[in-house]
Structure 1
Amino acid sequence: MRTLRWGLSLSAGEHMGSLRRLLICASAVLLLACAGPAVRPSSDPAQPPSSRPRTTMTMVVRYEVTDLAAKIPGSSSPVITKRLFNAALALIDDSGAARPYLAEALPQLNTDTWRVLPDGRMETTYTLRPGLTWHDGQPLTADDFVFALQVYANRAFSVFNPRPQDRIEGATAPDAQTLVIRWSAPYAGVSALIDSDFDPLPRHILETDVARAAADPSTAESVMNLPFWTNAYVGAGPYKLDRWAPGAQIEGSAFAGHALGQPKIEHVVVRIISDENTVLSTVLAGEADFTADFTLRFEHALVLKREWESAGRGVVYLKPSSAVTQMVQFRPEYVGHPGLLDVRVRRALAHAIDRQALNEGLFEDQGFVSGGLVPPTAPFFADVDRAIAKYPYDPRRSEQVMAEAGYAKDQDGIFANAAGERFWTDIRVTEGPEFERGQAILVDTWRRAGFDVRPSVLAAAQARDSEARQTFPGMASRGGGTEESSFTTGEIGSRENRWRGGNRGGWSDPAYDRLYDAFLNTLDGTERTGQVIQMMKLISEQLPVYTPYFAIQVNTHVSGLRGPDPGTAGFGESAPGTLPYWNIHEWELTE
């Protein structure tokens, strides 16, 4: 098996060889035919390229966000769009390291900037960069962080990511540049409060409405419906919002007051194109300078390598992303067949997952095969891989484990209990060619092993519905965002919390909760890694989730764009991934 050299573009002729590869390439040719003829550079190739700067960059994203606030979670990696308009105290660079952003420096343990008190509480101090402003020109001060904490901690506003304010006792602003946070317990994340952790909010815009909601919680929903969160957003990121045409594009202009410097590219247009074939056509037509995650599939990369990159028109990056998972439903009222709640049945299903077939069918045998959640770029991947339970593809072992659970194959070769009742389960994926092809391979191998699996597809529009993401029957796909907290009891969605939370399947295990709490309360890096390993081991044994494969993200940029870097894939709080376009203020675009 060959694997990708992650983060580097592949040679144009590296993809031929087997009949499967020929079939995939043939489909890529059909995609190219649908996209129209490739557009060739109009200039004489013998002439040196022009170095005239261009003032507008066109980016393409697949999913439209519902808001621009970094602290409000959503489906399909909303950070891809929100990052352009937001800034936090810190960011993660292309090496996976934390860098100061709005802060001048990050707290250092056992110094005046990070004090651990005898009772286990902590105090951290952040000095903001001088002269910070919001997009509207008003000063951004430490008091905006104090105000943000009041908003995030108000239970009437249940839409915000609960961390880390659930561990914050309070915050003060001794002066405009100094932020002091008091923590109720140890929390290692204080040295890298990144996007969606503790983003500031403009007090001068929201204070009156928030005060009204504090006095009358019934008005909280009206606060969240303010235009501020959408088409009147005011942040502190590299670009300020100019216009939002719903369903079409979002436009921004370079923010002169950006903490790391004004972007060199004056304007950005974020086009929203949900169809990947249309994105391919757009790139070939020279109408996209940069394509973000999820916009193109692996077979599109083959076309672009051959017809676009080889002509010197741009660069195609293939990079590992997070695990594409199948979350298991543990809420009895939604699960469907109760047999899925039996860990033996889940282990039998695990032995019937043919990951090599998935790798070949989806990525021409160029992907990464693993049954765990941690990506290969994580520094502790090897330790996790050694510790977790493995379920090699083995239909006979699957049958043995099903027998232990009280199931045997009936006359049609389908598992049924002693009363002749068949075990069955739903398997749902979000609409999209890659997800649906992966589903077809899973369904085929599971059915051949004797499982009655019933596939269904969730429309992309429905995938944005929080309740739909949590109340699925059987199993449901998740394209990314799975991390340590995704399996804690506190992250289980319900009607009471408006179906917010990362634990979509509703699995709950006291041992896992204890490990996660210990992880949050530990400051020593080695101990934290050990706790992550134990959490991943427990998940592999109890199987609240399956990892059929790891996604490969395809990014492209035109040859005249300098600065983009694929960065590193992360995993939750233990190994945060590179912030998308972390250095976009340095990018340059020429003709």
Structure 2
Amino acid sequence: MFKSLFFRVVLAVVLLAGLAPFSTAQHIAATPSIEHVEVLRLPSGGYWGHPSPFGFNRGPGYMRASLVFDTLVWRDASGETIPWLATDWRLADDGITWTFTLREGVQWQDGEPFTADDVVFSIEYYLDNPGTAWFMSQVDQIASATKVSDTQVALTLKQPFAPFIQTTAESLLIFPQHIWENVDDPKTYTKPDAFIGTGAYRMIEYSEAEGTYLFEANPDFFLGEPYVQRIEFVPTSDNFLALINGDIAAFDKFGGVTDEMLEPFQSDPFEVRTAPGEWGMFLFFNLEQDTPLQDVRVRQALAHAVDRQAMLERILYGFGDVGSMGFLPPANPFYNPDLIDYVYDPAQAQALLAEAGYNGTPIKLFYAAGDTETARVIEIITNGLEAIGLEIERVSLDQTSLDAAAVEGSYEIGVFGFGGLGGDPDQLRRSFASQSQTRGFSRALGYNNPDFDALAGAQLSLTDPTARRDAIFEMQSILAEDLPVLPLYYTARVVVFNADVFDNWYYTPGGWGGGIPMPYNKHQFIVGLPTGLEIRE
């Protein structure tokens, strides 16, 4: 395969340059006094696809691709939009035309100049290849892209779209026309030039078998030489021990953390930072399938039978929140706290099943195997459902196959976990509106409520914050009544790190890249400071 040859060549170049090869046996030296961080080693958590604009999987994969490829604008620790490939952006009086002024002097990593043509080409390529763009980016909201001048592009939307900057401009990766214009199958394209971006880091190597990735600083990056010079993602069996032993510089965890587990990291050189939950675990009911779940009373019975408080206590150790029936977590500014809930009540669940005339038809429960947390979730779910007489057939898949089943709609009940829940609440439209083109693990299939659809469409163009908040609140109320999905819990977040290696760790309010809640915003590695574009000295 090309990867083997390419990476052998790259490794030879690295060795000739006097740089250390990629080795997980190498430990991180504490270097608090140097001007830059030479090596930042992080846990890989597995293989997340290849880091091209089209080959990555989920948030961790997007994060790796974002090191190589840039977007028009970005976001720092303030949660505010900051200039990136674009230095200015303005909305015309028509409410649908955004004009971006591009940064001058930017180069692709092969030395070719970055131009307005590249931006127009990227948008048109995404539109010509439906389903290839990062699902959070909502590129389908764009009607056209036009080159205004050598330094300006105009993006015209199909309709007023209030969350355009965060969900699209901040997340849509731009790529070079001179490389991709002859590529017919972008998802499988993995030749070396597939990893040429304008980004702060060059992709040096990755291994699907080992789940490893190596990135090195791009000395010609438009902001200057990045503060962190080399980022390595390596496999670990125990992140807590790996951090103590110096094998990694940091790790993050969503929920399932106790004070006792964090005790070894409460003194120098370690630090711990936490944030409320923007990642959740959900039961999605596939209403495209002909199952007893078509009856809302069966869904309500299921909700009453699942002990979500037990999940919070036994799985998250209290480090999180029980799911809200409106889907959005308390961490989201648009969270509606005044919704109907379905407390654990087996007797009520049995009464609802009887009222619905449930006849014992089995329902298939799809989930990803191999994870202790998920195993506990499945145990609590199945114990609760079997106790009320609901027949469940377990279907265990690997994560990739489960995600594929979500896209295909081949599941009946699916256990899906994902983030992005603290970002713009248009997530509700993408996940639940009947006309939404989104497919995947965050999409409620077969759900159709005209009142919800009307609100989902209206909130897109509401620029008055109070009016939009009222619409989003009502959308959550409708979801709580209809129950197309059962939110189980939201995990609080923690990042634990060795401050002597790298100390600029933060959680971005509302997430980055369209809402990703992880503490790996590339801005922190590039600049070395929480905010701004000046690189740390």
TM-score by length of 2: 0.81
**1:144 maps onto 2:118 in alignment:** yes
Structure 2's unaligned 5+ residue stretches are 1-26, 422-426, 530-535
Which of 35, 57, 67 is equivalent to 1:84?
A: 67
Q: Which residue is equivalent to 1:241?
A: 203
CA distance in 1, matches of 2:234, 2:240: 13
Which of 559, 568, 580 is equivalent to 2:499?
A: 559
CA distance in 2, matches of 1:61, 1:466: 25
Q: Which residue is equivalent to 1:403?
A: 354
**1:583 maps onto 2:524 in alignment:** yes
8 Å contact from structure 1 (residues 314, 557) kept in 2? yes
CA distance in 1, matches of 2:373, 2:235: 19
CA distance in 2, matches of 1:469, 1:361: 32
**Cα root mean square deviation, aligned:** 3.4
**1:57 maps onto 2:8 in alignment:** no
Query: Matched residue of 2:337: which SS?
Result: helix
Matches within 5 A, 1:80-159: 80-107=63-90, 114-117=91-94, 122-155=96-129, 157-159=130-132
Which of 188, 207, 219 is equivalent to 1:225?
A: 188
CA distance in 1, matches of 2:396, 2:282: 15
Q: Which residue is equivalent to 1:448?
A: 387
Identity of aligned residues (%): 21
8 Å contact from structure 1 (residues 327, 504) kept in 2? yes
Closer, same or farther: CA 585–77 of 1 in aligned 2, 3 Å: closer
**1:378 maps onto 2:336 in alignment:** no
Q: Which amino acid aligns with 1:489?
A: S
Which of 349, 353, 358 is equivalent to 2:306?
A: 353
Shift of 1:41: 12
TM-score by length of 1: 0.74
CA distance in 1, matches of 2:96, 2:169: 21
Q: Which amino acid aligns with 1:282?
A: A
Shift of 1:148: 0.9
Closer, same or farther: CA 88–488 of 1 in aligned 2, 3 Å: same
8 Å contact from structure 1 (residues 106, 192) kept in 2? no
Q: Which residue is equivalent to 2:51?
A: 68
Q: Which amino acid aligns with 1:540?
A: A
**1:430 maps onto 2:368 in alignment:** yes
Query: Matched residue of 2:486: which SS?
Result: strand
Matches within 5 A, 1:242-261: 242-248=204-210, 249-261=212-224
Shift of 1:464: 5.0
Q: Which amino acid aligns with 2:197?
A: G
8 Å contact from structure 1 (residues 144, 203) kept in 2? yes
Q: Which amino acid aligns with 2:396?
A: V
Closer, same or farther: CA 480–472 of 1 in aligned 2, 3 Å: farther
Q: Which amino acid aligns with 1:444?
A: N
8 Å contact from structure 2 (residues 278, 420) kept in 1? no
Shift of 1:380: 2.3
Query: Matched residue of 2:497: which SS?
Result: strand
Closer, same or farther: CA 584–571 of 1 in aligned 2, 3 Å: closer
Q: Which residue is equivalent to 1:288?
A: 248
Q: Which residue is equivalent to 2:434?
A: 489
Structure 1's unaligned 5+ residue stretches are 1-39, 44-48, 108-113, 211-219, 407-416, 494-498
Shift of 1:278: 3.4
Closer, same or farther: CA 345–305 of 1 in aligned 2, 3 Å: same
What's the CA shift string for 1:334-382, capped at 9, x where partnerless?
x5xx21110011111112222221111012223212323212221222x
8 Å contact from structure 1 (residues 153, 165) kept in 2? yes
Matches within 5 A, 1:476-555: 476-481=415-420, 483-484=427-428, 485-491=430-436, 502-503=442-443, 505-555=445-495
CA distance in 2, matches of 1:74, 1:537: 32
Matches within 5 A, 1:290-439: 290-292=250-252, 298-299=256-257, 304-307=261-264, 309-319=265-275, 320-332=277-289, 338-372=291-325, 373-381=327-335, 384-386=336-338, 388-406=339-357, 417=358, 421-431=359-369, 432-439=371-378
8 Å contact from structure 2 (residues 368, 374) kept in 1? yes
User: After alignment, is 191-200 or 142-151 more displaced?
Assistant: 191-200
CA distance in 1, matches of 2:300, 2:59: 28
CA distance in 2, matches of 1:83, 1:481: 16
Q: Which amino acid aligns with 2:272?
A: V
Query: Matched residue of 1:99: which SS?
Result: strand
8 Å contact from structure 1 (residues 92, 194) kept in 2? no
CA distance in 2, matches of 1:149, 1:42: 43
CA distance in 2, matches of 1:144, 1:293: 37
Closer, same or farther: CA 257–188 of 1 in aligned 2, 3 Å: farther
Closer, same or farther: CA 255–316 of 1 in aligned 2, 3 Å: same
8 Å contact from structure 1 (residues 101, 260) kept in 2? no
Shift of 1:89: 1.4
Query: Matched residue of 2:321: which SS?
Result: coil
Shift of 1:58: 0.8
Query: Matched residue of 1:104: which SS?
Result: strand
Q: Which residue is equivalent to 1:180?
A: 154
Residue correspondences, number: 491
Query: Matched residue of 2:105: which SS?
Result: coil
**1:265 maps onto 2:228 in alignment:** yes
Shift of 1:314: 1.9
Q: Which residue is equivalent to 2:4?
A: none
Indicate the structure (1 or 2) with the bigger Cα radius of gyration. Answer: 1
CA distance in 1, matches of 2:394, 2:272: 33
Closer, same or farther: CA 577–85 of 1 in aligned 2, 3 Å: same
